[in-house]
Amino acid sequence: MSARSPRIAPPPGKRTFLEHRPHLFAAFNRFYGTLWSHGVLDQPTKEVARLRNARVTGCGICRNLRFAGAREAGLTEELVDEIRDGFEDGALPERLKVVLRFVDVLLGPAPGEVDAALAARLRAELSPAEIVELALTTTIAQGFSKAAVAWGPAPDIPLTVVPTPRPEGTVV
Amino acid sequence: MRETWSDDGGASAARVERLLDLTPAAASLRAYRDAVWRDAATDPLLLELCRQRLGRLLGLDPRGMKPHPLAVAAGLTPELLDELPRWPTSSRFSERQRAALEFAEQWLLDPSGMTDEHCARLRAALGDQPCAAFTMGLALVEALLRFELALATCLEDDA
């Protein structure tokens, strides 16, 4: 764990500097909670995308958080271990490999370069609404991982299972 | 030739809105987006400059990037956007804008490479509350730019 202090402190008694604008943070939580708890895409697929982002972006907090809903729906630690570079040769179901191929392009330097073959594979696996949610979940998670990394430190935490975000709750 | 937004630059934004309508989270996303842009600690011109810079670096055609109306109301001009690629040296940009654009570029390219100095310059330029609003704004605008770019291929017939 880094001993470095955060580059910006949270307000007294709060956990994140984003709470310097509490009504904005609350609006974010309502959106993120709705996306996770009232969306159309299943939670294990969203969790796979979120954890891939955590590893690509290098957020030690996000990487070891687990949302309970995805676990309860069958996303085991054995499957989580497969969300790594070289996942193509691993044991993930083909549907999740397609998802990760898309997520890697989405998170990369040229998100517009989703080729036609990948787009067709994705559309064969997911509905348009599910693809929209997959893209939103991935890119929003990336933004908040970046915030944790940029304003640091984003230390490695122990594996921690937290409730799936809900509109009335707070992202840990 | 001018590279900034054209009259039909709203077509891409409208397409994004139609795609967002496919998820039950659309209304809460729009409420969050509206809160970010209208927050008293948000400088809409500053956030739009960063959005435009990130969009160009990610591969969006600037002519299709219609600026947020609050940024235009705050003084954003096509001439300023034309100058955006030269922000590190152009006299059109203030030190405050340079600190934000520097932070935004580092954020896009490699947030783990952000230094104490990057963050200190932004905090000195903005203050803590605007830094929090700016960070949430930057995260959101980048997310929606990536969303727009990636889904242009995947869901071209669904919007």
CB-based contacts of B39: which residues, under 8 Å, 6+ apart?
A: A21, A23, A24, B133
Cβ proximity of B38 and B126 under 8 Å: no
Q: What is the pLDDT of residue A2?
A: 41
Mean pLDDT of B72-95: 96
Q: What is the mean pLDDT of chain B?
A: 93
Q: B148 CA to chain A: closest CA distance, Å? A: 8
Residue B4 CB burial class (10 angstroms; 0-12, 13-18, ≥19):
buried
Chain-chain contact of B25 with A34 (C-beta, under 8 angstroms)? yes
Residue A160: enclosing H or E segment and its boundaries?
strand A160-162
B150 to A102: CB separation less than 8 angstroms, yes or no: yes
- In order of A74, A75, A123, B46, B104, the CA distances from B135 in angstroms are 34, 31, 33, 12, 9
Q: Which of B32, B56, B103, B106 to mutate to test binding with chain A, by most A CBs within 10 Å of its CB?
A: B32
Specify the pTM: 0.95
How does pLDDT run along chain A (172 residues), one tens digit per residue?
A: 344 568 999 999 998 999 999 999 999 999 999 999 999 999 999 999 999 999 999 998 999 999 999 999 999 999 999 999 999 999 999 999 999 999 999 999 999 999 999 999 999 999 999 999 999 999 999 999 999 999 986 778 899 999 999 998 766 5
Host H or E run for residue A136: helix A128-151
- Inspect the interface and report whether the beta carbons of A112 and B151 lie closer than 8 Å: no
What is the C-alpha to C-alpha distance for residues A113 and A118, in angstroms, rounded to an integer?
Answer: 10
Residue B76's contacts (CB-CB under 8 Å, 6 or more residues apart) are: B45, B48, B49, B67
The complex scores an ipTM of 0.94
Closest-CA residue of A relative to B117 is A7
CA B68, distance to chain mean position in Å, is 9
